[in-house]
Amino acid sequence: MTPVTAIRGWGFVVLLMAALPYRAVAAGADSGTLPPVDPAACMAAIAANDDDKVTADCGALIDNEKTARADRIKALVARAAVFARKDQLDRAIADDGDALRLEPQADVYNIRGELWWKKGDRPKALADFAAAIKLNPDHPTAKGNYKRLAQELERLGALMAVAGKPAFNCSTAKRPVEKAICASPDLANLDRQINAVNSKVVHDAMADSPRAGRALQQQQDDFLARRNADFGKPGYDLPKVMSERLQRLLEIERY
């Protein structure tokens, strides 16, 4: 799933706007000394799905110090959605952050979490999904996002733990080709990927036909035998050979 389901159609934004409370009292005007600002133009722009008018009319509402808090929140969330669709992630995150400072809401935390995820800041994304779930333990999107991101972080941690290590034990490597692979993080990563994909395609084939699975494993054994025998010969390109083997396995996996 793409991390940013927050950058979704206007229908979601309109629903979120409707869920936000409406207040006619201006922010900072509890004493009644300042008249409220009319939010009609901004709300009409949101209802019309007009990104340009949202940026202009809701922007004016956000910038007006007389704007009621609830109206300011709606305007900030709507403008953030426009920025997100335009891939202006920092500005979208800033608007959602301002909205959350005015009133913490599970939907907005989830939206900002998805933006952080798209931006590549997984810890902040995870924190926002957790905040959304704390406010609404039954929030299905936030729960799903939290689970998927936690699994992604777990996979990344596992990959970092084996980065630069081949599928075999370098401490017992004796063949020149194995020593060459151990000496190169790039070749080591290639070797590990080849082994992982080969294991998967053989396993999948075995489920349908043990004979087909054995045939695929024999292909891998033949590849390793040729690699071991040909390494060091004039013109032998180990990175190229290994890359081609990985691509071949990936093709088998796709089909």
- Residue 33 pLDDT exceeds 90: no
Q: Which range, of 5-14, 49-58, 116-125, 202-211, averages the lowest pLDDT?
A: 5-14
Of how many residues is the chain composed?
Answer: 255
- Sign of the C-alpha dihedral computed for residues 224, 225, 228 and 231 taken in this order: negative
Where in the chain is CATH 1.25.40.10? Answer: 10-159
Write down the pLDDT at residue 3.
52
pLDDT in tens, 41-94: 999 999 999 999 999 999 999 999 999 999 999 999 999 999 999 999 999 999
The two structure tokens encoding residue 88: 């202006």
* 52 Rama sector, left if φ>0, alpha if ψ -120 to 50, beta otherwise: alpha
pLDDT in tens, 163-211: 788 989 999 999 999 999 999 999 998 998 899 899 989 999 999 899 9
Q: Which pair of tokens denotes residue 217? A: 């494993």
Q: Which of 46-60, 98-112, 116-130, 157-171 has the least mean pLDDT?
A: 157-171
Per CATH, the homologous superfamily of domain 10-159 is: Tetratricopeptide repeat domain (1.25.40.10)
Rounded CA separation 202/227 (Å): 20
C-alpha distances in Å from residue 241, one per residue of 134, 177, 244, 245, 255? 51, 12, 5, 6, 22
